Amino acid sequence: MNEFEGTFNYTPPLTGQGIMLQGYYVYMANDSIGNNMGHGGTYIQNKDTFTNKRLYNLNTTINPELCWVGNMKEDTIVWAVINDAKQKTSHGYSLKIR
C-alpha cells in the first residue's frame, strides 16, 4: 500500500470522503453550497499525477476522466485538479483516517 492509499476526509469547503486502494477509488463529497459529487472507478498513478477513469458517476454529463496532482504531507494530501493543459482548476486537502 502506498501513502496515497486509504480512506480520507475532505476538508472545508468540501465535506465527504475518498477511498483509494489497489487501483480503485470512490469519492463522495458535498461543497459549501450543497452540490454533491460522487463517482468511482479506477486510477493510475504516475509519480504525483493521478488519472481517474470514472466507471460510476452521479453526474453523467461530466468528463469520464479526472486528472489531479497530489503531494502527501504527513497524513494530508494536498491536491489540485488539473485540466488537459495541466492548469489547476480546483484544489483542496484530504486528511487520512487512521
Please list the pLDDT of the chain residue by residue as tens digits (98 residues): 799 999 999 999 999 999 999 999 999 999 989 889 999 999 999 999 999 999 999 888 888 999 999 999 999 999 999 999 999 999 999 999 98
Contacts of 21 (CB under 8 A, 6+ apart): 1, 5, 6
Cell numbers standing for residue 44: 493510475
The tens digit of pLDDT for each residue in 11-24 reads 999 999 999 999 99
pLDDT for the residue 3:
95
What is the secondary structure of 78-93 as a DSSP string? EEEEE-TTS-EEEEEE
pLDDT for the residue 80:
98
Cell numbers standing for residue 31: 461543497
CATH for 6-96 is 2.40.128
What are the φ/ψ torsions at residue 12 (nearest 5 degrees)?
-55, 145
